Structure formats: structure tokens, C-alpha cells
């Protein structure tokens, strides 16, 4: 008993960020009970996310199993946790219109980040399910935070899709536990047992688990919830949803992929199926976005397509693929937050459709230029980090094709390149209306001083990562990803 207690106490120092998040969640809820509408909670939440970011960054390359192996501190999860807290901090800064239930709003943001932290740190089926439910339950509530009929409908759809996908995933976990005798897929026992049990039941169980992961990252064919939820939720919440749960889900997904690939000894070509999913995700997201008039629905389909691009780094099963995935994730987070910064600002003024941006280029020249840079980065064009990120990803696919010779990789490369061109036609629709169409903005004065300060910071980051990608890659290349 004493040995178990000592083991837990030794591991506590590695989960101080998670302890801080859990404590902050409780404190903010208590503040909300004591005094409704207290704006103190926003400042406290910002301090918490900034503090956790600094703590994680101060010990980025530590690798250590904790809590009897249920959690594991490692460099990949730590890097992703930096992006999670950066996204959460940014969401707090732009959440200016939240007036009702402030404590609950910020408490749910903290809960989602806490669940995302735990999800990136585990390979344990039980902890995966608990983490996903922490993220999901909080997300269901935040999705309806517009407090209108459309928000309630979006929240309900999110809940229904999420509940079904979670149940299917849990069903898959139970089968895999029965086949392998362990709930830790990073355990040698799991891979050995799965190697001896390569049958229809094992493959069906794995596809059940895929359902949960694909839902969390809004990948095809589990993407149907995203457009309605994104369209109904407040813009800061949408910005948060499009980054935090997606990145956390992708990290645990890549761990699971490496486990079921059985070090290349699997009898099923998982690369083929995963590449097909990525191709479908990229194509569905981009072509559906072409037809959208609502800005947030367009960004919902953009997020779906970006999930497909993020998957490319995982599919190649190469070490540099993981590194390029991390670079792409960073560029995606910065570009996505830059776009949502101004979508939120203009939505606050009543602008929700693409056509309503007509004439904004004259009144809001700086915001629209910054917005254009964000959209160009998401497209993958120079001189932004998005171009470098996609160049890295596509080069990893080419390298994998040269080494492995799988035709599906060449198909993935060609589809990815063609879809990059397709995405140009909807990403640039807003600048097209803003600069080339006549119109009168709903509000006539450029009052976005704080937003422009944040926007300038993000723009500089995108430009620096284009001209000096080695500044980030020198960090990423030190990361060793071992299951």
C-alpha cells in the first residue's frame, strides 16, 4: 500500500498543470455560486491558461509514465498541450460578448482543456473514454451558449452524434480488451495478443474505435455534426472547438494507429484505409465549403478539410511525418485563430454571411488584410506558415511513396495538391467581397484596436514561420515519439 502511495506522490510533480486546471475549474464554479456575473473569472482563467502554458514549456522534453501507467508525460503530448493552452487563452481574450453565466462558460473551457490534456497523455482505454467524455459533456453545453433556438438545436445534434460515437467506441474497447486482456494499447501484451488475433472481430473492433476518434477530430464520415454546431455556437466557441478537441484527438489517434499497425506486421493495410479516409475528408470538406454562404458554416467545412490534411502526417508512418504534423498543427492553430478573431469581431457587428463583407476593405482595411493573411495561410500559399506546413506534409508523403511504393500515397499526394487549389476558391471569397464588391458595413468606424493588436501578433508569427521555419523545427526535431 505504501509503495502505491509513494508511486502516486512521485508522479504528482509531472501532473501539476492538470492539477492547476482541475483546481481552477472548481474555484471558478464556486465564484459563480457566490456572485453571479463576476467578471473576475475571465481574468483568473486567462492567468490559469498562461501559467499552465509556461509550466508545460519549461519542461517540454520530459518522458515519464505516471499513475501506474494510465498517464504518460512525453514530448509530443507536451508540445500539443502548448497549442491547446494557447488556443484556450486566445479564446478567453476574444470572448467579449459573453455576459450570461460567465463562471460556467470559463469553467467549461477549463474542463475541455483538462480533458484534452489527459487525452494526449494516455494510451489507456479507460482514461481515453473518461477524457473524451470530459471534453464532450462540456462541449455539448458550450455549443448552445448562444441561448437561442438555433444554439439549442446545434447542441442537441452534437449531443446525439457524440453519444452514439462514444457508445460505439466503448463497444470497440470492450472487444479489444477481450481479445488482448489489457486496456493499455501501448503495452507489449496488447500488440502481441493482437498479432495472434488478426481476425474479423479484431478489425471490426478497431473500426468501432475509429468512429470515436474520427468524430472527435471531425473527420469523414463522422463529420456531419460540425456544420450545424459551428453555425449555431458563438464564434469564440467555434474557434475553440476547431482546434482543442481536434488536436487532442489526433495525438491519441496516432498512438492507436502505431499500436494496431503492429510494427508493420499487420495483415491489413491500415495505410490504405486511413489514406482513403483522409482523401474523403479533404475532398468533402473543401467541395462542401464552396457552396456555403454562412461564414461559420464555411469554416466548419474548412475545419473538416484541415483534419484530413493533419491526418497526412500520421498516415505515412515515418518519424518526420509526426514532426511535420506538429509543424502543420502549429500553423493551423495560428491561422485558424487569426481568421476567427475577425469573424468574431464582425459577427459582433451583425455580419454573418460572406456577401455581407462587401465594402469592408475600405472601412476596415487593416482587419481585412490580416484576415486575408490568415485565409491565405489556411489555403497553404506563401508567404505564410501554411505554405511551409503543407510543403512539409506533401514532402513526407513523397518520401513515404519512394520508400514504400504504395500507390495510395501517390493518390493522396495528388488529391491533396488539387484540393489545395480548390480551397483557394472559398477561402478568398471573403476578401473578394470585401475589396471588390460595393457595400456598406453594418458599423462604420474601425474600432477593432485590441483585435488588430492580437491580429498583428498572429500575422507576425505566420510570417516568421514562413521565412524562418527552422526556429520551430529545431524544437520539434528534438521530440522523440515512441509508443
58, with CB counted inside 10 A (0-12, 13-18, 19+), is exposed
CB 205 within 8 A of CB 199: no
Residues 293-302: tens digit of each pLDDT: 989 999 999 9
Residue 262 pLDDT exceeds 90: no
Residues 126-153: tens digit of each pLDDT: 999 999 999 999 999 888 887 778 878 8
405, with CB counted inside 10 A (0-12, 13-18, 19+), is exposed
The predicted structure's pLDDT at residue 65 = 73
Dihedral (CA of 418, 423, 429, 430) sign: negative
Residue 436 pLDDT exceeds 90: no
Closest C-alpha among 93, 147, 157 to residue 344:
93
DSSP summary character for residue 15: G
The predicted structure's pLDDT at residue 281 = 94
Q: Is residue 216 in a domain?
A: no
Q: Is residue 226 in a domain?
A: no
Residue 8 pLDDT exceeds 70: no
- Please, which pLDDT band fits residue 332 given cuts at 50, 70 and 90? very high
Q: Is residue 156 in a domain?
A: no
Q: Is residue 386 in a domain?
A: yes
Number of domains, the chain? 1
Residues 338-356: tens digit of each pLDDT: 999 999 888 888 888 888 8
d(CA 220, CA 384): 27
Residue 382 pLDDT exceeds 70: yes
Buried b (16+ CB within 10 A) or exposed e, 367-393: bbebbbbbbbbbbbbeebbbbbbbbbb
Q: Is residue 366 in a domain?
A: yes
Residues 144-192: tens digit of each pLDDT: 887 778 878 888 888 888 888 999 999 999 999 988 888 888 888 888 8
The predicted structure's pLDDT at residue 247 = 92
Residue 2 pLDDT exceeds 60: no
Residue 309 pLDDT exceeds 70: yes
Residue 73 pLDDT exceeds 80: yes
Residues 193-215: tens digit of each pLDDT: 888 877 888 889 999 999 889 98
The predicted structure's pLDDT at residue 280 = 93
- Please, which pLDDT band fits residue 427 given cuts at 50, 70 and 90? very high
The predicted structure's pLDDT at residue 4 = 57
Residues 76-106: tens digit of each pLDDT: 888 999 999 999 999 999 887 776 778 888 9
Residue 258 pLDDT exceeds 70: yes
> What does the DSSP assignment read for 99-167?
-SSHHHHHHHHHHHHHHHHHHHT--BHHHHHHHHHHHHHHHHHHHTTT-SHHHHHHHHHHHHHHHHHHH
The predicted structure's pLDDT at residue 103 = 84
Domain range for 398 is 291-483
Range from 204-218, 229-243, 325-339, 439-453 that averages highest in pLDDT: 325-339
Residue 5 pLDDT exceeds 60: no
The predicted structure's pLDDT at residue 403 = 87
CB 279 within 8 A of CB 169: no
Q: Is residue 351 in a domain?
A: yes
Q: Is 69 left (phi over 0), alpha (psi -120 to 50) or beta?
A: left
- Please, which pLDDT band fits residue 410 given cuts at 50, 70 and 90? very high
Residues 393-403: tens digit of each pLDDT: 999 999 989 88
The predicted structure's pLDDT at residue 95 = 84
Q: Is residue 11 in a domain?
A: no
Q: Is residue 129 in a domain?
A: no
* pLDDT (mean) for 407-425: 92
Residues 26-61: tens digit of each pLDDT: 999 888 888 765 678 888 999 999 999 999 988 877
The predicted structure's pLDDT at residue 447 = 67
Q: In this predicted structure, which of 16-20, 429-433, 448-452 has the lowest mean pLDDT? A: 448-452
Considering the chain, what percentage of its residues have pLDDT values greater than 70?
94
Residue 68 pLDDT exceeds 80: no
Amino acid at each position: 500500500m505504501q509503495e502505491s502511495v509513494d508511486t502516486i506522490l512521485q508522479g504528482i510533480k509531472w501532473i501539476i498543470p492538470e492539477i492547476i486546471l482541475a483546481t481552477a475549474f472548481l474555484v471558478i464554479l464556486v465564484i459563480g455560486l457566490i456572485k453571479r456575473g463576476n467578471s473576475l473569472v475571465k481574468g483568473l482563467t486567462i492567468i490559469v491558461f498562461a501559467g499552465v502554458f509556461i509550466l508545460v514549456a519549461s519542461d517540454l522534453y520530459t518522458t515519464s509514465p505516471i499513475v501506474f501507467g494510465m498517464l504518460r508525460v512525453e514530448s509530443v503530448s507536451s508540445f500539443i498541450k502548448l497549442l491547446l493552452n494557447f488556443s484556450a487563452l486566445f479564446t478567453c481574450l476574444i470572448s467579449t460578448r459573453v455576459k450570461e453565466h460567465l463562471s460556467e462558460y470559463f469553467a467549461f473551457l477549463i474542463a475541455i482543456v483538462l480533458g484534452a490534456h489527459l487525452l494526449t497523455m494516455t494510451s489507456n482505454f479507460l482514461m481515453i473514454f473518461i477524457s473524451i467524455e470530459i471534453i464532450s459533456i462540456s462541449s455539448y453545453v458550450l455549443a448552445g451558449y448562444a441561448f437561442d433556438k438555433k444554439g439549442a438545436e446545434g447542441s442537441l445534434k452534437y449531443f446525439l452524434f457524440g453519444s452514439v460515437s462514444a457508445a460505439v467506441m466503448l463497444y470497440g474497447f470492450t472487444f479489444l480488451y477481450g481479445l488482448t486482456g489489457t486496456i493499455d494499447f501501448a503495452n507489449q501484451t496488447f500488440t502481441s495478443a493482437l498479432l495472434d488475433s488478426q481476425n474479423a472481430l479484431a478489425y471490426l473492433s478497431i473500426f468501432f474505435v475509429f468512429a470515436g476518434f474520427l468524430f472527435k477530430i471531425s473527420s469523414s464520415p463522422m463529420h456531419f455534426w460540425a456544420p450545424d454546431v459551428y453555425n449555431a455556437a458563438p464564434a469564440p466557441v467555434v474557434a475553440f472547438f476547431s482546434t482543442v478537441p481536434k488536436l487532442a484527438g489526433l495525438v491519441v489517434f496516432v498512438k492507436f494507429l502505431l499500436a494496431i499497425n503492429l510494427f508493420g506486421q499487420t495483415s491489413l493495410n491500415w495505410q490504405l484505409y486511413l489514406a482513403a479516409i483522409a482523401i474523403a475528408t479533404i475532398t468533402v470538406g473543401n467541395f462542401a465549403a464552396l457552396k456555403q454562404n454562412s461564414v461559420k458554416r464555411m469554416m466548419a467545412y474548412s475545419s473538416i478539410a484541415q483534419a484530413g490534411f493533419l491526418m497526412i502526417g500520421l498516415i505515412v508512418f515515418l518519424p518526420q511525418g509526426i514532426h511535420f504534423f506538429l509543424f502543420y498543427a502549429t500553423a493551423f492553430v495560428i491561422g485558424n485563430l487569426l481568421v476567427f478573431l475577425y469573424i468574431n469581431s464582425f459577427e459582433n457587428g451583425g455580419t454573418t454571411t460572406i456577401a455581407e463583407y462587401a465594402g469592408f476593405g475600405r472601412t476596415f482595411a487593416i482587419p481585412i488584410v490580416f484576415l486575408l493573411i490568415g485565409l491565405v495561410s489556411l489555403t497553404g500559399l506563401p508567404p505564410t506558415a501554411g505554405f511551409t506546413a503543407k510543403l512539409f506534409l506533401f514532402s513526407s508523403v513523397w518520401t513515404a511513396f519512394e520508400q514504400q511504393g504504395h500507390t495510395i500515397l501517390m493518390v493522396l499526394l495528388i488529391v491533396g495538391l488539387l484540393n489545395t487549389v480548390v480551397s483557394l476558391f472559398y477561402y478568398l471569397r471573403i476578401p473578394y467581397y470585401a475589396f471588390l464588391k460595393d457595400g456598406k458595413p453594418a458599423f462604420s468606424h474601425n474600432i477593432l484596436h485590441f483585435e488588430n493588436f492580437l491580429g498583428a501578433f498572429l500575422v507576425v508569427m505566420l510570417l516568421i514561420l514562413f521565412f524562418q521555419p527552422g526556429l520551430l523545427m529545431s524544437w520539434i526535431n528534438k521530440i522523440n515519439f515512441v509508443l
